[in-house]
Amino acid sequence: MSHYKANLRDQEFNLFEANPITEYLESFGGMDEDTARMILREVERLAVGPWGESFVATDRYELKLVNGEVVLPDELKRSIDAYREAGWGRIAMPPELGGAGAPPSLTTATIELLCGSQPTAYFYAIGELMARVLFEEGTEEQQKIAHYMLDRNWGGTMVLTEPDAGSDVGAGTTKAVQLDGDMYAIEGVKRFITSGEFDYAENIIHLVLARPEGAGPGTKGLSLFMVPKFLINDDGSLGDRNGVYATNIEKKMGIKGSTTCELSFGADTPAYGWLVGSKHDGIRQMFRVIEHARMLIGTKSTATLSTGYLNALEYAKQRVQGPDLAQATDKTAPRVAIIRHPNVRRMLMIQKAYAEGLRALVMYTAWVQDQIMLHPDDQYLDALNDLLLPMVKGYSSEKAYELLAMSLQVFGGSGFTTDYPIEQYIRDSKIDTLYEGTTGIQAMDLFFRKIARDQGATLTRISAQIVEFVKGGGDEDVLSTERELLGKALDDVQGQIGVLVGHLMASMQEPTQIYKAGLHLDGLLESLSEVVIGWLLLRHAEIAAAKLPAATGDDVAFYEGKVASARFFVGHVLPGIATRRSEAEAENGGLMVLSDEAF
């Protein structure tokens, strides 16, 4: 049986009840609700079937770099074959690229299914994203190459990080020497390149940030280049091997079947690259990829926590051990399933609330992305998406990794073995807190770029929506207590932001005052994410409570669970925001004057 357990019912709730995409589905390729539901069911069938069958084998197989080549295990290739044959990589592509033009919300739901089942395999499919960016940013000739990438299943990579620069992308030294027009020679070494080398695809297109000779320092001096593994002839056939080679692959704690490479450009033979779109606009172009990748990682985190929780839930219902706590002194009392034990029940509800809460955050963000496509001139939607992405990527990845340990705890000692998938989930998910900017970087982005830079305008608008929700409900509102708690949490996070903005303003006169803000940015990311999730979960609970009286069958338990998880999250998680506010208000900066030797 597959390790993967999907939560299709909650996905459908997000898509068709909480954020009803049926109101505008026709605008995306004439799609309708029946088609959307069919897509979800079919992708789920793939995920629990041939796609996920390689999950364990891929983890146990040792990838090796031999003469610049990496051979993937046969099990993994069969999974990728099943995905390619089904054509699911095309559903999000615009019609001009042969796609169905599905909205981001539906696409995100399918990505959750695929990443929850076999994330390693999905990383070999991201060439589709690179093809789309190349098509939309590239020249007419590069648009042809984008078609080749999709039609012939070529790989694709995003190539930013350098050994000495790390997350400081602007410090990169890889250079581009102009040869003729848009053709350059690329010289340098990049590190941590996902899917940088593998034998499944006949060609790999690398999208590389490099600094043209004479360009200025920092990120503004970077340009984006298309660097193929094999050169491409005018008729689309493959030519000579280009001078880009994998010179090392990382040995990792998780996602072991994903080749994470060091790539060397132009070491022995020239590495030819072509300026993307004939314009030196590299960091903006690459950020299109980065933002997609951050959304992907937040979705992957959510997916892994969800299947971890559902595996733990199944085990808790089946594992019989110990008497009911209320009968603990009766030696003849029957043994019960561990889901009847208070502590196990508590752990399961924590996981349920977060799994549904993170999904709510991811799917609401995807809904915002739908609206951006429907209303491209609405600048608020772009700003709201920008505000939400650090939460999706940073908060989701941190909480998923943390709570997967709780999923394992439900299994007891059995969870520490390879008999169950949780230990691999934990190893595979840790990378999510590091990919595409660590959590600390996401927190800085949230505060400095997404809040301070626009003077809190976007945050003010979404806060106003939350305030309206807090004021909602009538005299018999079953969520009145939770609305009040949400309002208190919003006040606390606004107070927390006010303290940090104060330190930012003070730093204009005394630069070291910024340290006081810096010490609490991760805390701000947590607090703001929790308020947004609390609001979304209560919106879900309001819908569920209204539908409960007429519900039948499995829907009764589902809607009861939606109300319960929202109440639990608001009652047990949101009060922690007041503590973070108090900590920020009491900050004296002492940690930053402590000598390095004292650590």
Model confidence at 483, pLDDT cuts 50, 70, 90, reads very high
Assigned token pair, 551: 């519900």
Instruction: For residues 36 and 40, give the distance between their C-alpha atoms in angstroms, rounded to a whole number.
Output: 6
Q: Which residues contact 492 (CB under 8 A, 6 or more apart)?
A: 527, 577, 578, 580, 581
pLDDT at 82 over 90: yes
Confidence of residue 511 (pLDDT cuts 50, 70, 90): very high
Q: Is the predicted pLDDT of residue 545 greater than 80, yes or no?
A: yes
The per-residue pLDDT for 89 is 87
Are the C-beta atoms of residues 203 and 255 closer than 8 Å to each other? no
**pLDDT tens for residues 254-290?**
999 999 999 999 999 999 999 999 999 999 999 999 9
Q: Confidence class of residue 63 from pLDDT cuts 50, 70 and 90?
A: very high
Question: Mean pLDDT, to the nearest integer, of 119-137?
Answer: 94
The whole-number average pLDDT for the span 55-66 is: 95
Greatest CA span in the chain, whole angstroms? Answer: 87
Q: Tell me the C-alpha to C-alpha distance, in Å, between residue 3 and each of 307, 316, 425, 432.
A: 8, 16, 10, 20
| Inter-residue contact 470 to 487 (CB < 8 Å) | yes
**Dihedral sign, CA of 292, 298, 547, 42?**
positive
**Residue environment code for 190-219, b if the CB has 16+ CB neighbours within 10 A, otherwise e:** bbbbbbbbbebbebbbbbbbbbbeebeeeb
Q: Is the pLDDT reported for residue 198 higher than 90?
A: yes
Residue 356: enclosing H or E segment and its boundaries?
helix 342-374
pLDDT at 424: 98
Known catalytic residues are 436
Percent of the chain with pLDDT over 70: 100
* Distance in angstroms (rounded) separating the CA atoms of residues 154 and 156: 7
Token code pair at residue 508? 């204009």
Q: Which of 527, 454, 471, 435 is nearest to 192 (CA)?
A: 435
pLDDT attached to residue 383: 97
- What number is the average pLDDT over the span 468-479? 89
Is residue 515 predicted with pLDDT exceeding 90?
yes
Distance CA 262, CA 111 (A): 27
| Predicted pLDDT at 254 | 96
How far apart are alpha carbons 132 and 151 in whole angstroms? 12
- What pLDDT is recorded for position 471? 94
Is 67 a residue whose pLDDT tops 90? no
Query: What mean pLDDT is predicted for residues 476-496?
Result: 96
Give the pair of three-digit tokens for residue 509. Answer: 């006169």
Two tokens, residue 459: 């945050």
Query: For residues 119-151, b (16+ Cβ closer than 10 Å) or e, as one string?
Result: bbbbbbbbbbbbbbbbbebbbeebbbbbbbbbe
Is 68 a residue whose pLDDT tops 90?
A: no
- Spatial separation of the C-alpha atoms in residues 20 and 224, rounded to whole Å: 38
Quick check: 24 pLDDT over 80?
Answer: yes
Task: Please name the amino acid found at residue 69.
Answer: E
The Cα–Cα gap between 338 and 340 comes to 5
Mean pLDDT on 567-593: 97
- The answer to whether residue 166 scores a pLDDT higher than 90 is no
Residue 165's pLDDT is what? 85
In the prediction, which pLDDT does 476 show?
81
Q: How confident is the model at residue 523 (pLDDT cuts 50, 70, 90)?
A: very high
How many other β-carbons are positioned within 10 Å of the β-carbon of residue 513? 17
Taking residues 171-177, report their average pLDDT.
94
What single-letter DSSP state applies at residue 202?
S
How high is the pLDDT of residue 164?
86
Provide the pLDDT confidence category of residue 526 given band limits of 50, 70 and 90. Answer: very high
Instruction: Answer for the pair 10, 359: CB distance below 8 angstroms, yes or no.
Output: yes
Residues 432-453: tens digit of each pLDDT: 999 989 999 999 999 999 999 9
Burial label, 320 (beta-carbon count in 10 A; 0-12, 13-18, 19+): exposed
List Cβ neighbours of 297 (8 Å cut-off, separation of 6 or more): 393, 396, 397, 432, 435, 436
Question: Does the pLDDT value for residue 101 go beyond 80?
Answer: yes
Give the C-alpha separation, 339 to 317, whole Å.
6
Residue type, 529: S
Containing 469, the helix (H) or strand (E) segment is helix 457-471
The pLDDT of residue 11 is above 80: yes
pLDDT at 475 over 80: no
Q: Which domains does the chain have, with CATH numbers?
A: 8-125 (1.10.540), 154-280 (2.40.110.10), 450-589 (no CATH)
Give the model's confidence band at 168: pLDDT under 50 very low, under 70 low, under 90 confident, else very high.
Answer: confident
Three-state DSSP state, 475: coil
Strands 65-66 and 69-70: antiparallel
Neighbour tally for 325: CB within 10 Å: 11
Q: Which of 162-166, 329-333, 359-363 has the highest mean pLDDT?
A: 359-363
pLDDT tens for 371-401 read 999 999 999 999 999 999 999 999 999 999 9
pLDDT at residue 473 in the model: 83
Do 358 and 7 form a contact (C-beta atoms < 8 A)?
no
The upper half-sphere exposure of residue 462, i.e. CA atoms within 13 Å in the direction of its Cβ, equals 26
Which is it for strands 183-194 and 175-180: parallel, antiparallel or unpaired?
antiparallel
CA-to-CA distance for 373 and 364, rounded, in angstroms? 15
> How many angstroms separate the CA atoms of 546 and 554, rounded?
16
Mean pLDDT, all residues of the chain: 96
Q: Which helix (H) or strand (E) holds 206?
A: strand 204-212
Structure confidence by residue, pLDDT tens digits, 451-460: 999 999 999 9
Looking at residue 435, the DSSP 8-state letter turns out to be T
- Mind spelling out the 3-state secondary structure of 404-458? HHHHHHHHHHHHHCCCCCHHHHHHHHHHHHCCCCCHHHHHHHHHHHHHHCCCCHH
549 falls in which pLDDT band (50, 70, 90)?
Answer: very high
| The pLDDT of residue 350 | 98
The label of the residue with tokens 């626009």 reads 454
The whole-model pTM stands at: 0.97
Residues 580, 526: contact at Cβ < 8 Å? yes
Residues 406-418 pLDDT 10s = 999 999 999 999 9
User: How confident is the model over 87-96, as pLDDT tens digits?
Assistant: 998 999 999 9
C-alpha span between 69 and 22 (Å, rounded)? 46
The DSSP symbol for 274 reads E
Segment 415-422 shows an average pLDDT of 96
What's the helix, strand, coil split of the chain in %, to 5?
A: 60, 10, 25
What would the pLDDT profile of 328-350 be if each residue is shown by its tens digit?
999 999 999 999 999 999 999 99
Tell me the mean pLDDT in the region 69-80: 96
d(CA 502, CA 550): 51
Would the pLDDT of 360 be above 80?
A: yes
**Region 544-564 average pLDDT:** 97
Region 223-237: mean pLDDT is 97
